[in-house]
Amino acid sequence: MKPLHLAAATLIGLGCSALSMSAAADEYCVPFENGGSICGVTSEKDSYSLFKGIEYATQKRWDPSTIVSNYDPKTPASEFGKSCIQMGYDSSKDPDQSEDCLFLNIWTPKTENVSKQGLPVMVFIHGGAFIAGKSNDMYPPEKNEFLLYDGATFAAEQDVILVTFNYRLGALGFMQLSFSDQGEVPVGGNYGLQDQMTALQWVQDNIKKFGGDPDKVTLFGESAGAMSAGLHLWGTSKTQDLFNAVIMESNPIGYRYRNNEDGAKQAKMFLGCLAAIKKKIKINMDCNLIWAEQSADLSDYTLDDISKAQTLYAKYNFSHLDLSGIVGLPGALPFTPIIDGKFLTQQPADQLRTGSTKPLIFGFNQNEGIYFAQKAEPLTKIIFYQNLVKNLFNCASVKDKDCTETILGTAEYSPKTVFTQEQRRGLANDKVTALSNLINDFAFSCANMDVKPKSDQTNIWAYFFNQPDQVQILPGSGSNACGPQNQWDNSCHAAELPFVFNSLPPATSDANQKLAMTMNTAWATFAKNFDTTGPGQDWKKWQAPSASSQELPLLNILNDNDSPLSENIFETRNCKNWLGQWRPRTLDYNAAMQVFRENIK
């Protein structure tokens, strides 16, 4: 997802495959109440135990999930559970996906008859734009050779328990289809987020049985997982007692979520899509509201119907634009949590400037925008980039009143700029380069640096990851701009993940292995010492830069050769403006969606 490496990093770590469960692993059963037990496997050789596919909750469609408390004797936990329904699901091609998908996995230091007790616990939320991803994601794409979120090093080397889990996605996870009384709906369409709460509650109830300390839980996530962690931190009081510290990797932290009114409008559009699919109406990317039946029996739809309606709904909003090409822009995500006033009550973008109530690490990668812009590149000829920016942001044109500096008048974001090959960094043309710069600076760099600690806060740290991509994590998009060891030294979205989990391939270089162990140790050290030294004595604590400050922002730099920060990112990425006059023009989610429909055709 460096100055600030750790002395503990002298432990040169092994790659994930070197810590994989050996063939000589033994079954180990953790006792539960009423004679039940959960049976994973313990590797004598690799010094950790692994419990896969534990069902932590059950759910009915478009209802809150219910925690699972009891288990049968010797309940097997040796295989990952099925993943939740992803965008593009097809029952004939995706047997590993299911509505019954609420499973979690636990890595612990080697479990013995007398288990270690009081261990720190790290709970990870996967990313995927709220439409994709699972707790057992593999890489590289298509080949699926290595487990990305591998907890082996956390458990075997760091004495930390790692928990990963699935949560509902897309329309099944984030669409409110109860219209009778919006205010009485207990989670307001936030079924996927409520699943996350249920997983955290399961950890509170049960992690002691695995040797963990329920009072020392660090919640962390990447991309949409980081957005989720931010919502639990700043958006709701429902989960505050379920975790103690937070790490957010590559969170487009300024994103504004739908409210109840927005959610109701979007749900009616989705019902129109469902009806069109059910009635086999031949339409061209249109979910006409006249087809929406609010009294329809939603249990009558198959998962294939829902999947097709999801795709139709996304196309209606974005006219075939690849969704991941505009992540971070206002209104860009079709399925997100809802600020419903019940479960979620606050926009994180409004709260982050008041500091954090819990110890926090946040950070971002050097070239976050490249992957998203690259995904959009095949469609750039039909994107009215200039109009899009004008309609989404204040100060996008010299005609805007009182804006002495404008977005489109700034070379980095202007489609008229002729960028050099070096400035393009592998992107196909100038317009895509401008879009990449805009997403990188507005959504990731500057939005994160808007976190402002209170005067008495000393428990916030920030990092900047600028190690070039070493492996292919996300699906490719034409060029190798975000590929392994790309010639432009880009550090794209998700590039930090195999370093955080020390899950790089075993053949990776010694320098990369060392960096992976440095980062894995930093994350684990934070989980142990979040209320004191945090990720390490040599980590500088975060202080929000001011518009007049000439000092480098206090980012802890992570790369394999300890290269210091060579630029004042706050200044070179125009953060004074992005956090000032250049804020989004509209705070209404559906108004932003309408801008996309009008300017991307």
539-548 pLDDT, tens per residue? 999 998 877 7
Please report, to the nearest 10 degrees, the dihedral formed by the alpha carbons of residues 130, 132, 136, 137 taken in order: -120
182 inside domain: yes
pLDDT of residue 16: 38
pLDDT of 181 higher than 70? no
Q: Region 3-17: what's the mean pLDDT?
A: 33
Residues 181 and 272 in one domain: no
pLDDT of 296 higher than 80? no
Distance between CA atoms of residues 384 and 141, nearest Å: 31
**pTM, 2 dp:** 0.92
pLDDT of residue 292: 61
* CATH number of the domain that residue 56 is part of: 3.40.50.1820
Q: Is residue 368 classed as helix, strand or coil in its secondary structure? A: helix
Q: Nearest Cα to 50, choosing from 72, 30, 70?
A: 30
233 inside domain: yes
Residues 54 and 180 in one domain: yes
pLDDT of residue 322: 46
pLDDT of residue 560: 95
Token couple for 49: 């135990």
pLDDT of residue 377: 72
- Render pLDDT for 76-130 as a digit per residue (tens, 0 to 9): 999 999 999 999 999 999 999 999 999 999 999 986 644 678 999 999 999 999 9
Q: 233 pairs with which residues across the strands?
A: none
225 inside domain: yes
Is 65 labeled as catalytic in the residue annotation?
A: no
Residue 21's pLDDT band, with cuts at 50, 70 and 90, is very low
Q: 339 pairs with which residues across the strands?
A: 259
Measured in degrees and rounded to the nearest 5, phi and psi for residue 445 equal: -60, -60
Top pLDDT among 100 and 485 is at 100
Distance between CA atoms of residues 273 and 48, nearest Å: 48
Which of 33-37, 327-331, 476-480 is most confident?
33-37
511 inside domain: no
Residues 136 and 53 in one domain: yes
Residues 272 and 296 in one domain: yes
pLDDT of residue 27: 85
pLDDT of 278 higher than 70? yes
Cβ neighbors of 121 (< 8 A, separation 6 or more) are 160, 161, 162, 163, 203, 207, 212, 213, 214, 216, 217, 218, 527
pLDDT of 139 higher than 90? yes
Residue 176's pLDDT band, with cuts at 50, 70 and 90, is confident
Catalytic residue among 20, 83, 135, 223: 223
E strands in 255-368: 258-259, 338-339, 360-365
Look at the chain and count its residues.
Answer: 601
Residues 60 and 119 in one domain: yes
385 inside domain: no
pLDDT of 431 higher than 70? yes
Which DSSP category does 405 fall into?
S
- Render pLDDT for 309-331 as a digit per residue (tens, 0 to 9): 998 888 766 543 444 446 667 77
Q: In which region does residue 331 sit, left (phi positive, over 0), alpha (psi from -120 to 50) or beta (all else)? A: left
pLDDT of residue 266: 85
Q: Which of 225-239, 342-356, 539-553 has the lowest mean pLDDT?
A: 539-553
> Is residue 176 within 8 Å of 70, Cβ to Cβ?
no
Q: Which of 174-178, 336-340, 520-524, 531-535 has the lowest mean pLDDT?
A: 174-178
> Is residue 101 within 8 Å of 89, Cβ to Cβ?
no
The position carrying tokens 């002395």 is 7
Residues 175 and 101 in one domain: yes
Q: Which of 63-72, 222-231, 314-323, 406-415 has the lowest mean pLDDT?
A: 314-323
Distance between CA atoms of residues 149 and 359, nearest Å: 23
pLDDT of residue 20: 44
Mean pLDDT for the chain? 86
> Is residue 57 within 8 Å of 20, Cβ to Cβ?
no
The position carrying tokens 């990317």 is 285
Q: Nearest Cα to 478, choosing from 424, 525, 519?
A: 424
Asked which of 298, 326, 354 is the last residue of a domain, the reply is: 326
Measured in degrees and rounded to the nearest 5, phi and psi for residue 50 equal: -135, 130
Distance between CA atoms of residues 129 and 173, nearest Å: 12
Distance between CA atoms of residues 238 and 344, nearest Å: 8
> Is residue 122 within 8 Å of 162, Cβ to Cβ?
yes
Q: Nearest Cα to 289, choosing from 267, 308, 262?
A: 267
pLDDT of residue 295: 58
Which DSSP category does 536 fall into?
-
pLDDT of 503 higher than 60? yes
> Is residue 111 within 8 Å of 211, Cβ to Cβ?
yes
pLDDT of 15 higher than 70? no
Q: In which region does residue 451 sit, left (phi positive, over 0), alpha (psi from -120 to 50) or beta (all else)? A: beta
569 inside domain: no
User: DSSP labels for 545-588?
Assistant: PPTT--SPP--EEE-TT-PPP-S-HHHHTTHHHHTTTTSBS---
Residues 171 and 68 in one domain: yes
Cβ neighbors of 23 (< 8 A, separation 6 or more) are none
pLDDT of residue 546: 79
204 inside domain: yes
* Domains held by the chain: number: 2
Token couple for 504: 């790089």
pLDDT of residue 11: 29
Asked which of 301, 326, 351 is the last residue of a domain, the reply is: 326
> Is residue 221 within 8 Å of 124, Cβ to Cβ?
yes
Residues 273 and 171 in one domain: no
Which of 364-378, 451-465, 526-540, 579-593 is most confident?
526-540
pLDDT of residue 489: 94
319 inside domain: yes
Distance between CA atoms of residues 318 and 600, nearest Å: 7
- C-alpha separations of 48 from 185, 252, 426, 436 in Å: 42, 34, 42, 42
Top pLDDT among 601 and 166 is at 166
Residues 312 and 189 in one domain: no
pLDDT of residue 480: 83
Which helix or strand (DSSP H or E) is residue 38 part of?
strand 37-43
Q: Nearest Cα to 412, choosing from 437, 376, 447, 377?
A: 437
Q: Is residue 72 classed as helix, strand or coil in its secondary structure? A: coil
Residues 268 and 193 in one domain: no
Residues 61 and 170 in one domain: yes
Whole-angstrom distance between the N-terminal and C-terminal Cα of the chain?
32
The position carrying tokens 């994973």 is 40
> Is residue 360 within 8 Å of 251, Cβ to Cβ?
no
Other beta carbons within 10 angstroms of residue 23's beta carbon come to: 7
Asked which of 215, 238, 258 is the last residue of a domain, the reply is: 258
pLDDT of residue 291: 59
Top pLDDT among 277 and 53 is at 53
Query: Could you give the percent of the chain with pLDDT greater than 70?
Result: 85
Distance between CA atoms of residues 86 and 226, nearest Å: 19
The burial class, CB within 10 Å (0-12 / 13-18 / 19+), for 568 is middle
Which domain, by its residues, includes 308?
A: 259-326
Other beta carbons within 10 angstroms of residue 469's beta carbon come to: 28
pLDDT of residue 12: 30
Residues 153 and 281 in one domain: no
pLDDT of residue 25: 61
pLDDT of residue 600: 58
